[in-house]
Structure 1
Amino acid sequence: MTRPLSIAYSPCPNDTFVFDALAHGRVPDAPELDVTFADIDRTNGMAERGELDVLKVSYAVLPWVLEEYALLPTGGALGRGCGPLVLTRQPGGPADLAGKTVAVPSERSTAYLLFRLWVADQVPGGVGEIVVLPFHEIMPAVRDGKVDAGLVIHEARFTYQDYGLRCLADMGAHWELTTGLPIPLGAIIAKRSLGAPLLRRLADSIRTSVRMAWDDPEAARPYVLAHAQEMDPKVTDQHIGLYVTEFTAGLGEDGYAAVRGLLTRAAAEGLVPPLGRDALAFV
């Protein structure tokens, strides 16, 4: 008997929704999974250390891990209108961030790359100190004046006003305006050493799991809510609708163009190593 594939993804609703059927053995002929829940900053580190077979990571970490891992064409998070936000206590414009302290959830995240590209284009002189905080601590830190601004992701799009905060800029809107492409956020990667047949089988199984969740969302609901960290069910549904898109079922031409575009621009700014010519190619 082959061993289960070790996999880590977040407890966020989009990931549990995507993987529900697969994780619970409802996808025919799918490989068995041994699931670990971990936030994106931790899974990025796992990928750099080569710790697990399959991981949900930030697209931003790909340049460091694609020698050992292959990018799967399904299961990830790309979309439109779903980018990170820069939040402040007071209204203002991009120039007001010059020299200011900004909290971010990770410096190896897609959100951070989008933010740095926006800063290079919109903030004369650049920002000041970057402080890395767990994403759930960022809005309280901005509200309490511990930092001047915060870069937030996920469900914070729907809850920041509860903290009395204002949206200074939408990183995703800037990306879409300047590229016309969807916003690449999270990727599914798997070790190349698993071999092409298993990698294809895994990708097909994830795609089937996504479609099963779309066909019967109520079947996935218990798994989603069990790990949603007391998130309001309405916010949970918004979260899934925003981050589980046509690109989750398959990257397609626009999806691959978005990923390569992000990483090429980031490499030009010295934020990541340059990608090899065929680095994103699937088996």
Structure 2
Amino acid sequence: MNIAFSPCPNDTFVFYAWVHGKIEGAPSLKVTYADIDKTNYWAVDQTGPEVMKVSYAALPYVLDQYRLVPSGGALGRGCGPLVLTKEKQEIQSLEGKTVAVPSDRSTAYLLFRLWTEQKLAQNKVTIQVMSFEDIMPAVQAGEVDAGLVIHEARFTYQTYDLHLLQDLGEWWEKDTGFPIPLGAIIAKRDLDATTITKWASESVKYAWAHPEETKEYVMEHAQELSESVANAHIDLYVNEFSASLGEDGYQAIENLLGRAMGQGLVPEFDLSKIRN
């Protein structure tokens, strides 16, 4: 079976057991390592493999061809994207400014636009899509007024002497009470989603039971992160929702995408397809 997921520690930790043949009855995996901005577009264009990790923000574009797999993904609390600035400032100062984002088809981007809709009187910001690794240096150099960052930047932004303007996860949780839908596993609709869900869930549980066994694989793909940062990344993004979305997970996804659809941030789609 062909699969694409990122080289980030949470994805390699989650899929370690399946990739290494530890899950009884699961097919062998041929892995393509790709950042989520690439898999989002592959899913939309139908040019990627039959199983992929994408942003939840991409679901409205792909649910006719792909089914959401309710395990193996990333959804949780205290793990939201951050809005960073070079100097301390008020939220309203973003009006009319340029903000660098790693993708305009990501959950982080949807959260940012929902937040600015609520917090800025005119909701006028200029979006500049930029490679994830270039955002914090660009903010530090004053090339953009603010940056939207994800994943390990939560643990490293202080090294760039940047300031936290808003933790979007904190805002979302206070505003809705729901966890944040970040990365989803999707599978082609002609595949047996029940068995894929089972194998992904078992892979998560195996990694939890054998964390030391996963380290070499995780660090091999950790993009020069220290082991402590990689571990913090896993602790933050691999949680109960990775094993199974559950009702809270489904409601969080429906709330996010329903609000985004209502504001025209994603195309109209059938919300019931999230569960079917």
Q: TM-score, normalised by structure 1?
A: 0.96
**Structure 1 pair 277–267 and aligned structure 2 pair: CA distance change class (3 A):** closer
Q: Deviation string for 1:122-153 (max 9, x for gaps)? A: 12222421100011110000000100000000
Q: Does 2:92 correspond to 1:95?
A: yes
* Whole-angstrom distance in 1 between the partners of 2:238 and 2:43: 22
The match for 1:78 is 75
Aligned to 1:254: 248
Tell me the distance in 1 between the aligned counterparts of 2:5 and 2:271: 28
Gapped regions of structure 1 (runs ≥ 5): none
Within 1, Cα distance between the matches of 2:263 and 2:171? Answer: 17
- In 2, are the aligned partners of 1:68 and 1:192 still within 8 Å (CA)? yes
Residue from 23, 27, 45 that aligns with 1:31: 27
1:12 maps to 8
Q: Give the one of 99, 104, 107 matched to 2:101.
A: 104
CA contact (8 A) 1:101 1:127 kept: no
Matches of 2:43 and 2:220 in 1, distance apart? 26
CA RMSD of aligned residues (A): 0.8
The residue aligned with 1:208 is 202
CA distance in 1, matches of 2:86, 2:186: 37
Q: 2: distance between equivalents of 1:38 and 1:20?
A: 16
Residue pair 2:53, 2:185 contacting (<8 A) in 1 also: yes
Give the deviation of 1:269 after TM superposition. 0.8
Structure 1: 4+ residue segments shifted above 6 A? none
Structure 2: gaps spanning 5 or more residues: none
Amino acid at match of 1:273: P
Q: Which amino acid in 1 is paired with 2:175?
A: T
How many equivalent residue pairs? 275
Give distance in 1, aligned partners of 2:127 and 2:161. Answer: 22
The one-letter code sitting in structure 1 at the alignment partner of 2:109 is Y
Kindly state the Cα deviation for residue 157 of structure 1 after the two structures are TM-superposed: 0.4
CA displacement, residues 62-100 of structure 1 (integer Å, 9 cap, x when unaligned):
000000000001001001010000000111121010000
**CA distance, structure 1, for counterparts of residue 54 and residue 168 of structure 2:** 19
| Contact 1:263/1:274 (8 A) holds in 2 | no
Q: TM-score, normalised by structure 2?
A: 0.98
2: CA distance between counterparts of 1:250 and 1:260?
A: 16
**How big is the shift at 1:277?**
4.2
1:275 aligns with 2:272: no
Query: Aligned residues: percent identity?
Result: 56
Tell me the distance in 1 between the aligned counterparts of 2:125 and 2:241: 35
Judged with a 3 Å threshold, the aligned counterparts in structure 2 of structure 1 residues 45 and 277 are, in CA distance, closer, same or farther, namely: closer
Q: Which residue of 2 aligns with 1:170?
A: 167
SS of alignment partner, residue 278 of structure 1? helix
Q: What amino acid maps onto 1:88 in structure 2?
A: T
SS in 2 for 1:253: helix
CA contact (8 A) 2:254 2:271 kept: no
Report Cα offsets for 1:213-244 as digits up to 9, x if no partner: 00110111111000001101110000000000
